[in-house]
Amino acid sequence: MNRIVAALSGLLLLAGCGGGASGDADTLHVGSQRGGTKALMLASGVLDGAPYKIEWSEFPAAQHLLEAIGGGAVDVGLTGDAPFIFAYQSGSRIKAVGAQRTNERPRGRLSLIVPRNSNVRKLFDLKGKTIATTRGSVGHYLIIRGLQSEQLPPHWVKLAFLTPGDAKAAFDSGSIDAWATWVPFLSTALEGGAKIIVDEQDVMNPLAFDVANENAIKGKAALLRDFLEREAKALRWAEKHIEEYTRILSKETGLPTKVARDYVIKQMRRAVPIDDAVIEEQRQVLTDFQKAGAVAGTRDLSAGFEKSFSKTEVAAAQ
């Protein structure tokens, strides 16, 4: 169990993440949530022959990754749509340069869960109880959407904003009542008997975005464009090489093979263009955050998207 916790929660900041990433013209500094982009790109081999250097930095959650991108320590990284909107409206100097949509939305990919011995059967039963998640995360957004779907006010529950590792420890110890989380953390919890109260299938259809620092978009456009094309090819590779991807992901992260395979299957995505329809979907995410009192920013949403990169990215995946 200790090995699983370490694999899920470890924060590894690699060399090159210290600062001034956007000024290093021949190096692309890429951030990855553990088990995410880095594992996919290395497993697929799509970076072989890249005419530039890549330096990786790994983070336990999107919030930390986005802070690094906004601060210029990382050039680009993949996050969920809700964390991106949350960070953008907080004033971060970032833009979405690529978009990905999950091929299917299997149950148990992003869920609000309670312990196996909990008497809670539905969201209504959590009145006044504490739910853990990461601030501005897809889990945070899942809670907001779940409450809205049941016509319950934001204050119906208490939120404890914790890192995934701290949330897992609190969930296992019984110091919180529920946890809004995602694979691979969710896979391990469900194996331990946790019960799903709200699943993303019920209330939302999230996207993922490649998010880049504004300076990197200006100074490393060619590198970003090439990387996004290779990433789109890697996504296609993953669809046909589930077992190979699982094996490499398990080795890279230390996750048990069963948990790694669950992650691979449930996180299958494809590159999609950033178009007006995608931006409108995100306008709903912003509205939901605002109604819940979680976001106060009023930045122009459309200005947070750079459409030019996704044209070649999607073409590369065809």
Query: Is the torsion defined by CA of 218, 274, 60, 45 positive or negative?
Result: negative
Position with higher pLDDT, 195 vs 20? 195
In this prediction, residue 4 carries a pLDDT of: 39
Q: What is the mean pLDDT of residues 198-210?
A: 95
**Secondary structure (3-state) at 287:** helix
Enter the pTM of the model.
0.88
Binned at pLDDT 50, 70 and 90, residue 106 comes out as confident
Whether the per-residue pLDDT at 140 is higher than 70: the answer is yes
Binned at pLDDT 50, 70 and 90, residue 19 comes out as very low
Of 20-34, 147-161, 167-181, the least confident: 20-34
Residues of the chain within CATH 3.40.190.10 domain(s) are 10-104+207-316, 110-203
Binned at pLDDT 50, 70 and 90, residue 318 comes out as low
Tell me: domain 110-203, CATH 3.40.190.10, correct?
A: yes
Whether the per-residue pLDDT at 22 is higher than 70: the answer is no
Of 21-25, 206-210, 297-301, the least confident: 21-25
Whether the per-residue pLDDT at 12 is higher than 50: the answer is no
In this prediction, residue 312 carries a pLDDT of: 59
In this prediction, residue 152 carries a pLDDT of: 98
CB atoms within 10 A of CB 2: 6
Specify the amino acid at residue 201.
Q
Whether the per-residue pLDDT at 241 is higher than 50: the answer is yes
In this prediction, residue 253 carries a pLDDT of: 85
Angstrom distance (rounded) from CA 54 to CA 26 = 9
pLDDT, the chain, mean: 90
Whether the per-residue pLDDT at 24 is higher than 90: the answer is no
Q: What is the mean pLDDT of residues 197-219?
A: 96
Nearest partner of 100 among 205, 206, 208, judged by Cα: 208
Whether the per-residue pLDDT at 54 is higher than 80: the answer is yes
Q: What is the mean pLDDT of residues 205-224?
A: 96
Binned at pLDDT 50, 70 and 90, residue 296 comes out as confident
- Top-level CATH class of 10-104+207-316? alpha beta
Q: What is the mean pLDDT of residues 96-120?
A: 94
Angstrom distance (rounded) from CA 40 to CA 149 = 34
Q: What is the mean pLDDT of residues 249-269?
A: 91
Q: What is the mean pLDDT of residues 197-202?
A: 96
In this prediction, residue 185 carries a pLDDT of: 93
73 sits in which H/E element: none
Angstrom distance (rounded) from CA 38 to CA 194 = 29
For tokens 């699983």, the residue is: 4
